[in-house]
Amino acid sequence: MLSPGRHLVLGNVACGEGAIRAGCRFFAGYPITPANEISQYMASELPKVGGFFLQMEDEIASIAAVIGASWAGAKAMTATSGPGFSLMQENIGYAYMTETPCVIVDVQRSGPSTGQPTMPSQQDVYQARYGAHGDYEAIALSPWSVQEMFDLTVRAFNLAERFRVPVLLMADGAIAHIKERLIVPEKVEVLERRRPEGPECTPFGTEDPSGVPEMPLLGEGYRLLITGSSHRPTGRRDDSPRYMRMKVERINEKIRRARREITDIAAHHLEDADLAVVSYGASARPSYSAVKRARSMGIRVGLLRLRTLWPFPEEEVSAISEEVRAILVVEMNIGKMVREVERAARGRAQVVSLPKVGGVLHTSDEILEAIRRLRQ
Amino acid sequence: MRTLRYLRERYVRELPTLFCPGCGNGIILNSFIRAIDQLGIPQDRLLCVSGIGCSAWIPSPYFKGDTLHTTHGRALAFATGAKVYRQDLVTVIFTGDGDGAGIGGNHLIHAARRNIDMTTILVNNMNYGMTGGQLAPTTPYGGPTDTSPYGNPEHPFDLVELVSAAGASYVARWTTYHAVELTRSIMEGIQHKGFSFIEVLSQCPTNQRHIFRIRAPIEELPTRILEMFAESTYIRGRPARTDYFYILPNIPAEEAIKEVNEALGGLEARARLVDHISYGRLIRVDSEEVDRARGILEGLKVTERVLGPLEGKVELGVFVKRERPEFTESLMNIIKRAQGC
């Protein structure tokens, strides 16, 4: 493990370190570029703190083992990239349905399919929201630096425990493989799992239709029925429309109602802006640089950086759409989150997409050029 | 011997079950419960993990203890995570042939390879029962199913050979007819340190009629199939009887048996109709003068073939029992090594 203080490390290493500091004691994964350094770090560091590293036979087994370990009491994580993230979707859905806290890191690479394994993208952002079948609300975070790989991994674990959900850290191949400064704090804020105290518990329901139930663990005498099938608040399988509706509404509402607590943005130079750039993850870096250059040319432009992709920071984007004339959405895909921005802007500001595919980051020149065009 | 009432009240969450009448799952639940009762394992130290399919419902919801009912084929992978983190939990996986050897086949061989200390009970009914009787990776060659209406063009897995080769350290096969042996095997499997695999051939009266070519009213099927399991299996290591053989007739066995009886005439011999797992309806001939009886019947017009006592039968018993380093222990050793002690 890294000592508190300054380090020069890879994004993937910062992610592993953040996980261990957040209390992760179980990791299961399958080799895939560009996520491998996370597994390697966990394989070397977890046993030192009494944790378990498992290399499973595939990504399906990896997320399955993570969910099993979580019910056994572990804070648990897996890390993968696009092809593996696709394979995991069914069991991620199981984690939503069974309200299992865990963390899934998707170090996004350029797709579809095998695509460009070593090159970054932000193409899985919709898969993070809609990848599993059925209705659920997702939490997905997007780090733009090595420091945020650490900070947001810690936050992912805390959110997972707070809401009893899988939390997705949507990193990308660029952030994962950048080496830059990481400050490991003396102490990180760690949220522990809320567990029932008495002999009775209702593992899958609360009186509040949008509440988060306390989570009992295996081996504590609760005689749990944990199932991905429709179930009553007790866990007993039950196909009736009433119970399925209660369940689906609650796993959606528990996140929707807490939207303000979850959503997180960073605003740069937006105070006096009449133009805004919306970006996230690695593509927010050239965006930031282009905004600063444009400012030096006298263009009043700011950057809104999404640290949570899901739930989408709708109110924040909506508020900005009232202040600015146009919004440029910079992302490493064919144009995805731009649709959410359009929806939130409701026509109050012009929304322009600046997509990029092919496995390379935007250059700040490209973004600056687009900002200048917005101005006209 | 515990009373049924004691076992039900203590270990069964609710009754009746939702299984089809005559299903083998009840026998397997019974054997499992008797095994843990005889071992004296407190039910709160047990974790039952299952996937999707009829087999998954044996523990969930019927076993009154912790149950993790997971996704199709993945029970072993879920169980691996839980077992590694809570090594004190006695972990038993219930899976089926489609769940465990079809969609979950990869997890099966890898759990066996790791030799993780868990017991897997694989209920093999040779078809996908819950979805209506489709072709499974265990359906016999040529067997008709819903999705092989002209006969199965594929060959079935021999799961005992598969899992043994993959590295499991306890491997057994029984049928629902052999409930006592099955109970003993579950006890052995749980006590064995390592990956224990027990295949149980089970009856599915709802879907097996065509696979086994049994023509009978549905209420007779459970007993017919159980008797077929008894007839067409033999137990490894037990001396085999040699005083009988089978006639595979070229006309329906019900008609052929008359001619067989006439031909046997004054011999010390008895012919009767039986079901055979590989050949369907046959005539079994038991005789003190087996060679003479055989000689007579070989030349009979209705005789297609004469089969020896073990031909086409399924071998049962304990196939593997060996010591290999166990996975969770190896992980604990890694922690010690990493911590430098």
State mean pLDDT over B222-243. 96
Q: Quick check: B1 contacting A, CB < 8 Å? A: no
Q: Is residue A266 packed enough to be buried (19+ CB in 10 Å), middle (13-18) or exposed (0-12)?
A: middle
- Position A374 scores a pLDDT of 92
* Architecture category of domain A265-375 in CATH: 3-Layer(aba) Sandwich (3.40)
Q: Do A65 and B337 touch (CB under 8 A)?
A: no
Q: Is residue B216 packed enough to be buried (19+ CB in 10 Å), middle (13-18) or exposed (0-12)?
A: middle
Q: Which residues belong to CATH 3.40.50.920 in chain A?
A: 265-375
Cα separation, A374 vs A208, in Å, equals: 47
Non-local (6+) Cβ contacts of B131 within 8 A are: none
* Whether residue A376 has pLDDT greater than 80: no
Token look-up 């599915």 returns B204
CA distances from A186 to A94, A183, B103 (A): 36, 9, 47
- Position A338 scores a pLDDT of 98
- Position B115 scores a pLDDT of 98
Going by C-alpha positions, the residue among B154, B169, B174 that lies closest to residue B113 is B169
CA distances from A28 to A42, A158, A274, B84 (A): 9, 19, 47, 11
Mean pLDDT of chain B: 97
Q: Which residues belong to CATH 3.40.50.970 in chain A?
A: 5-184
Residues of chain A positioned with their CB less than 8 A from the CB of B86:
72-73, 218-219
The domain limits of chain B are 4-232+315-332, 241-309
Written as one letter, the residue type at A231 is: H
Token look-up 């282009």 returns A290
Class of domain B241-309: alpha beta
- Position B266 scores a pLDDT of 85
CA distances from A98 to A196, A204, A375, B68, B262 (A): 16, 8, 49, 10, 66
Banded pLDDT at B66 (limits 50, 70, 90) = very high
Cα separation, A248 vs B180, in Å, equals: 44
pLDDT tens by residue, A8-59: 999 999 999 999 999 999 999 999 999 999 999 999 999 999 999 999 999 9
- Position B1 scores a pLDDT of 72
On whether the CB atoms of residues B136 and B98 are closer than 8 A, the answer is yes
Q: Which of A62, A66, A227 sits opposite B60 (nearest CB)?
A: A227
Q: Do B61 and A229 touch (CB under 8 A)?
A: no
- Position B226 scores a pLDDT of 98
* Whether residue A277 has pLDDT greater than 80: yes
Three-point CA angle A151, A125, A69, nearest 5°: 60
- The kind and range of the H/E element at B132 are none
* Whether residue B193 has pLDDT greater than 80: yes
Q: Which of A50, A66, A223 sits opposite B81 (nearest CB)?
A: A66
ipTM: 0.98
A193: three-class secondary structure by DSSP:
coil
The domain B4-232+315-332: what is its CATH number?
Answer: 3.40.50.970
pLDDT tens by residue, A165-178: 999 999 999 999 99
Cα separation, B179 vs B167, in Å, equals: 26
On whether the CB atoms of residues A80 and A105 are closer than 8 A, the answer is yes
Residue A134 burial (CB count, 10 A): 11
Cα separation, A15 vs A38, in Å, equals: 7
B304: three-class secondary structure by DSSP:
strand
Return the biggest CA–CA distance within chain A. Answer: 68
* Whether residue A209 has pLDDT greater than 90: no
Min CA distance, A266 vs chain B (Å)?
37
pLDDT tens by residue, A215-244: 999 999 999 999 999 999 999 999 999 999
Written as one letter, the residue type at A95 is: A
- Position A375 scores a pLDDT of 76
Mean pLDDT of chain A: 97
For the CA atoms of A284, A288, A289, A291, what is the dihedral angle to 10 degrees? 130
Banded pLDDT at B338 (limits 50, 70, 90) = very high
pLDDT tens by residue, A72-122: 999 999 999 999 999 999 999 999 999 999 999 999 999 999 999 999 999
pLDDT tens by residue, B4-40: 999 999 999 999 999 999 999 999 999 999 999 999 9
Burial A55-88 (b: 16+ CB within 10 A, else e): ebbbbbbbbbbbbbbbbbbbbbbbbbbbbbbbbb
**Residue A211: alpha-carbon gap to chain centroid:** 21
Beta strands per DSSP E along B36-179? 46-50, 66-69, 90-96, 118-124, 170-175
Cis check for the bond before A112: say yes or no (omega within 30 of 0): yes
- Position A112 scores a pLDDT of 97
State mean pLDDT over A284-290. 98
Cα separation, A371 vs A366, in Å, equals: 9
Instruction: Pick the residue of B74, B90, B92, B94 with the most A CBs within 10 A to test the interface with A by mutation.
Output: B74
- Position B38 scores a pLDDT of 97
Q: Which of B61, B74, B81 sits opposite A225 (nearest CB)?
A: B61
On whether the CB atoms of residues A325 and A274 are closer than 8 A, the answer is yes
pLDDT tens by residue, B111-169: 999 999 999 999 999 999 999 999 999 999 999 999 999 999 999 999 999 999 999 99
Residue A109 burial (CB count, 10 A): 28
Q: Do A68 and B81 touch (CB under 8 A)?
A: yes
Three-point CA angle B210, B213, B219, nearest 5°: 75
pLDDT tens by residue, B46-61: 999 999 999 999 999 9
**Pairing of β B90-96 and β B46-50:** parallel
- The kind and range of the H/E element at A66 are helix A59-71
Non-local (6+) Cβ contacts of B319 within 8 A are: B160, B164, B171, B172, B173, B236
- Position A196 scores a pLDDT of 96
Min CA distance, B164 vs chain A (Å)?
18
DSSP string, A259-324: HHHH--EEEES-TT-SEEEEE-GGGHHHHHHHHHHHHHTT--EEEEEESEEES--HHHHHHHHHH-
On whether the CB atoms of residues A9 and A179 are closer than 8 A, the answer is yes
Q: Is residue A236 packed enough to be buried (19+ CB in 10 Å), middle (13-18) or exposed (0-12)?
A: middle
pLDDT tens by residue, B247-267: 999 999 999 999 999 999 889
Q: Quick check: B80 contacting A, CB < 8 Å? A: yes
Min CA distance, B87 vs chain A (Å)?
10
- Position B2 scores a pLDDT of 84
CA distances from B337 to A42, A49, A80, A273, B22 (A): 15, 12, 27, 57, 53
Instruction: Pick the residue of A1, A25, A40, A52 with the most B CBs within 10 A to test the interface with B by mutation.
Output: A52
Class of domain A5-184: alpha beta
pLDDT tens by residue, A189-200: 999 999 999 999
B323: three-class secondary structure by DSSP:
coil
Beta strands per DSSP E along chain A? 5-10, 24-29, 52-55, 75-80, 102-110, 116-120, 139-141, 166-172, 179-184, 225-227, 265-268, 275-279, 301-306, 308-310, 326-331, 350-355
Which residue does chain B place closest to A28, by CA atoms?
B81
- Position A325 scores a pLDDT of 97
pLDDT tens by residue, A298-331: 999 999 999 999 999 999 999 999 999 999 999 9
Cα separation, A91 vs A89, in Å, equals: 6
Q: Quick check: B67 contacting A, CB < 8 Å? A: yes
Which tokens sit at A157? 């674990």
Cα separation, A210 vs A190, in Å, equals: 24
Going by C-alpha positions, the residue among B90, B87, B113 that lies closest to residue A69 is B87
Banded pLDDT at A210 (limits 50, 70, 90) = confident
On whether the CB atoms of residues A311 and A305 are closer than 8 A, the answer is no
Cα separation, B292 vs A321, in Å, equals: 99
**Residue B140: alpha-carbon gap to chain centroid:** 14
State mean pLDDT over B282-296. 96
